[in-house]
Amino acid sequence: MPLPASISPFFYPRSLAIIGSADQDDNMGDLVLGNLVNAGYTGKIFPVNLKAASILGLPCLRKPDEIPEEDHPLDLAVICLPLGDCPRALRACAALPVKAVLFMRSGFNTNRNHDFDIAKELLEIAEEAGIALLGPNSLGIVNTSAKLNLCPQGGLTQTGHIAFFSQSSGFGFAMFSWAKENNIAFSSFVSLGDRKFLDESDLLTFWADDPQTKVIAGYLENVADGPRFLD
């Protein structure tokens, strides 16, 4: 998938929706919403939840198409749904439209035929609608200058000038714990997940021109596109 004209909606969204499910055991959507509010994010937030009337005092919409027209296009949607529900949710986002989508569900394995078919369907929907995708199996994004914490882990709010990406979410959060203990701050953090859509080279391209970022660091177990990465 080619790099969209801008992936800035992931880092500087003026409006976003968190699409979750009230019957999930881990309540990923609730955790992300709570950390976003605690970080001091000042943009518009639209919790979308079929079963909950409100979360953290914010009224919930039942479907993405209930987001008011004056807020179209939406900058970012965070999808915290079971795998089988993701294509339907992405189609609803495309209809608004939405500029960028973060998939935060885990357990996505494209070595399984069923998961591979869903990944292919998601890519087709996104390409047709011009949506930038991150994930699946991502554990989120942080941009401290925008007071944006879309991670299930809180406290990642100290502003700095180091951008950090990690293919391993566990390693990424361990790095943040180490940095906090040593008073080292970050501009932003991205958990790449399975990199089926955007990858480390897309982030390098974006962060090279990001005024908040002076240093780029990352952890990889392999490289998605070797020649592009070297370029």
Segment 134-148, tens digit of pLDDT: 988 888 999 999 999
Q: Give the number of residues written for the chain.
A: 231
Owner of token pair 């970012």: 76
SS3 187: strand
Q: What is the residue-averaged pLDDT of the chain?
A: 87
Distance separating alpha carbons of residues 18 and 122, to the nearest angstrom: 18
Determine the average pLDDT of the residues in 2-11.
72
Sheet holding 159-166, edge to edge: 148-150, 141-143, 186-191, 159-166, 215-219
Residue 146 DSSP label: G
pTM of the complete model: 0.90
User: 64-73, 152-161, 181-190: lowest mean pLDDT where?
Assistant: 152-161
At residue 70, the pLDDT reads 92
Q: What is the pLDDT of residues 93-150, one digit of tens each?
A: 999 999 999 998 656 666 677 777 888 899 899 999 999 999 888 889 999 999 999 9
Residue, of 99 and 195, whose pLDDT is higher:
99
Task: Specify the pLDDT at position 22.
Answer: 54
What's the pLDDT at 109? 66
The closest of 163, 96, 106 to 131, measured between CA atoms, is 96
Q: What is the pLDDT of residue 157?
A: 67
Looking at the predicted structure, is the pLDDT value of residue 89 above 50? yes
Report the C-alpha gap between 208 and 19 in whole angstroms.
31
